[in-house]
């Protein structure tokens, strides 16, 4: 399961990088300092997450073993903030819908999917960080 998730995560990351680059080049996304301050850390965190997931899924040793345990905590905070923003966005969409609309169900399903992906992503990196932290103790 972890191998498939790592490969899918990398493919979605590649698609996101290409789509964002295309949108920036064609002026769809404003190139303000605030946008850069959000996009650059997001892609750095996503790239490191992809490395951690691939390393965990395929049982590899990624460089900088001391990075992964603290990074799992940073990723946890990042995913928690992202999840709270998704919940807030979903609630605002649902509250604006007319009564009897089926869009509320679709919104809740997308929210559940996003929360599940956030959790599995964090869990993979956290497990990898834990495994790397325990490796030196097992070797000595």
Q: Where are the domains of the chain?
A: 2-139
Q: Is the pTM of this model over 0.85?
A: no
Query: Over the range 58-73, which residues count as b (16 or more CB within 10 Å of their CB) and which as e?
Result: eeeeeeebebbbebbe
SS3 state of residue 61: coil
Burial class (CB in 10 A: 0-12, 13-18, 19+), 125: buried
Report d(CA 48, CA 59) in Å as an integer.
16
pLDDT tens digit sequence for 82-128: 889 888 988 888 888 787 777 778 888 888 888 888 888 888 888 88
Mean pLDDT over residues 11-40, rounded?
85
Q: Please report the pLDDT score of residue 103 as a whole number.
A: 77
């Amino acid at each position: 399961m972890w191998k498939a998730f790592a490969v899918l995560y990398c493919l979605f990351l590649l698609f996101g990088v290409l789509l964002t680059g295309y949108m920036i080049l064609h002026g769809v996304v404003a190139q303000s300092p605030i946008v850069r301050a959000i996009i650059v850390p997001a892609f750095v965190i996503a790239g490191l997450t992809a490395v951690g997931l691939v390393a965990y899924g395929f049982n590899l040793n990624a460089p900088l073993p001391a990075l992964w345990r603290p990074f799992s905590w940073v990723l946890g905070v990042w995913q928690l903030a992202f999840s709270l923003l998704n919940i807030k966005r979903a609630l605002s969409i649902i509250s604006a819908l007319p009564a009897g609309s089926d869009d509320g169900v679709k919104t809740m399903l997308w929210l559940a999917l996003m929360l599940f992906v956030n959790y599995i992503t964090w869990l993979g990196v956290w497990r990898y960080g834990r495994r790397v932290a325990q490796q030196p103790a097992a070797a000595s």
